[in-house]
Amino acid sequence: MGDREKEPALSVSAAMALAKGALEGVVVRLVGEVSEVSSKRGYKAVYFTVKDEEAALSCMMWMGRYKACGVDLAVGQLVELSGRFTLYAAKGRMNFDVFSLALAGEGTLRAQVAALARKLEAEGLMDPARKLPIPQFPLTIGIVTSPRGDAVHDMLRTLRNRFPVARVMVAGVQVEGARAAADIVEGMRCMYRAGVEVMLVGRGGGSYENMMPFNDEALARAIAACPIPVVTGIGHEPDTFIADMVADRRASTPTYAAMAVTPTRESLEELFGAHARSLTMSASRAVERAAAEVRRCAERPVFQDENLLFASWMQGLDLASERLFRAIPANLERDRTTLDWQRERLARLLPEGVARERAALERCRERFLPSLPANLERDRVRAGHARERMQALGSGIVPRFGQQAALAAARLEDLSPLSVIGRGYAIARTKDGSVAKSVDSAPPGSALEVTVSDGVLACRVESARHEEIELIRWEDEG
């Protein structure tokens, strides 16, 4: 102790230089969460602070190194640093001079999610104009979540309390693990095929790694392409995932997601009350309009005096009757005068016309009588010549037709069954009159009528047998 007191005292700058030299020899790697960042235009370095549960460390990184690492620092990121401790003598502050910077653990995942979010946003999947409106009163609601978590019970309880008339269908799927995203997509397909009007997709809280299925690109595209509205309720209040960004509506929790698709009892009562008031007012106005119309009709003169309805017609009928009674006698007198005049004309003209017609008839008779005997004689001579020609021609026609008739009669005689019967043959007929042409058509015991040359024999078949009979056909080759 005494030796140290004998040593000369150091200046502040010398002491800081001594400490700086000791610290800069310590090069370490560490992991911490970014709690604050300061990177302003014109700065030569980026200043930030990392912390854990028990301590915080001020860091600085020269701008050239920071741009080369390719990481955009943000509060909440988990980063892995390598560097050395150093002192800023002018302020007497210790800093950690960062050589390299990389995201660690969850920070890497968040960077990947941020990159995917930028990609989907550039494609327009997060555009509000693309998102579907939520039905005001959905009667069929689908839930896609884990069947064993608290989220499904929270959503079912909320839906039952707020809108019990809705029919709720649940697709139980995995919400954690490698197959969770594919299971959620398949659950959405099942809900769509079931015909739900709106779909809830969600789960309760968990670590960021466990929530990664809701940052899956295939799930995000399935939600964006879903033809029915999709409402997400994933995790807790501050959590936001890719599925939330592309959904038609994002709720902070599963319970709020169920509330987002159902009306409150108060809103329903208010809505029904408004409709009831509107209907009452509309009905009242309609009744008032109808009453006013009835009053206007009742005040019309035609309903005050029934004669007004037919007054014009009755007046017209009276006028027509008066004109008719005046016109009939005058018309009758005029027609009587005309008839007398016509009678006098006929009396004068009729004898003259009859005499004229009689004279014309006499002239015609005088013209036809002299020529009639000559015409008759000419026609009589013409008829005699025609008769002589017919007689001359008929004597040659009749023998030719007589020969043809005799030949036809001879052929008919040859073909007649009576001539065959006359030569000693017979014809056997069954009960129905058909000719028995074979043994099969007249089995033993059946009745037959056999026609011979001078009558008919009634017979009954005792027995029958088949025999081969050679038939010889004669053909006339002439």
Q: Is the pLDDT of residue 478 over 60?
A: no
pLDDT range class, residue 368, cuts 50, 70, 90: confident
pLDDT at 417: 73
Integer CA distances (angstroms), 288 to 102, 274, 285, 294, in order: 79, 21, 5, 10
Q: Is the pLDDT of residue 471 over 50?
A: no
For 56, the enclosing helix (H) or strand (E) is: strand 56-62
Q: Is the pLDDT of residue 313 over 80?
A: no
pLDDT at 472: 41
Query: Comparing 470 with 403, which gets the higher pLDDT?
Result: 403
pLDDT at 169: 95
Could you tell me if 199 and 189 are in contact, meaning their C-beta atoms sit under 8 angstroms apart? no
d(CA 78, CA 44): 24
pLDDT at 218: 92
**Closest to 198 in 3D by CA, of 154, 234, 172, 232:** 232
Integer CA distances (angstroms), 35 to 66, 147, 165, 325, in order: 17, 37, 49, 121
- Tokens 């009831």 found at: 276
pLDDT at 5: 58
Could you tell me if 229 and 247 are in contact, meaning their C-beta atoms sit under 8 angstroms apart? no
- pLDDT for 99-137, tens place per residue? 998 877 655 667 777 888 888 888 988 898 999 999 988
d(CA 379, CA 247): 119
**Closest to 56 in 3D by CA, of 104, 110, 108, 95:** 95
pLDDT at 327: 79
Could you tell me if 221 and 244 are in contact, meaning their C-beta atoms sit under 8 angstroms apart? no
**Closest to 232 in 3D by CA, of 222, 247, 242:** 247
pLDDT range class, residue 474, cuts 50, 70, 90: very low
Q: Residue type at 191? A: M
Query: By CB neighbour count within 10 A (0-12 exposed, 13-18 middle, 19+ buried), where does 19 fall?
Result: middle
Q: What pTM was computed for the model?
A: 0.43
Mean pLDDT rounded to a whole number for the chain? 83
CA 256 centroid distance within chain: 36
Please, which residues bridge with residue 61 across strands? Answer: 46
Could you tell me if 448 and 428 are in contact, meaning their C-beta atoms sit under 8 angstroms apart? yes
Record the tokens describing residue 183, joined without a space.
């299971």
Section 169-187 average pLDDT: 92
For 405, the enclosing helix (H) or strand (E) is: helix 307-415
pLDDT at 308: 66
pLDDT at 468: 59
Q: Is the pLDDT of residue 320 over 50?
A: yes
247 CB contacts (<8 Å, ≥6 apart)?
A: 131, 201, 223, 230, 231, 232
Compute the CA torsion angle 230, 231, 235, 240 (nearest 10 deg): 80
430-434-438 Cα angle (round to 5): 75
- pLDDT for 27-62, tens place per residue? 899 988 888 998 888 888 999 999 988 899 999 999
Q: Is the pLDDT of residue 250 over 80?
A: yes
Record the tokens describing residue 337, joined without a space.
């005068």
Query: Comparing 309 with 73, which gets the higher pLDDT?
Result: 73
Name the 3-class secondary structure at 96.
strand
- pLDDT for 211-236, tens place per residue? 888 989 999 999 999 999 999 999 87
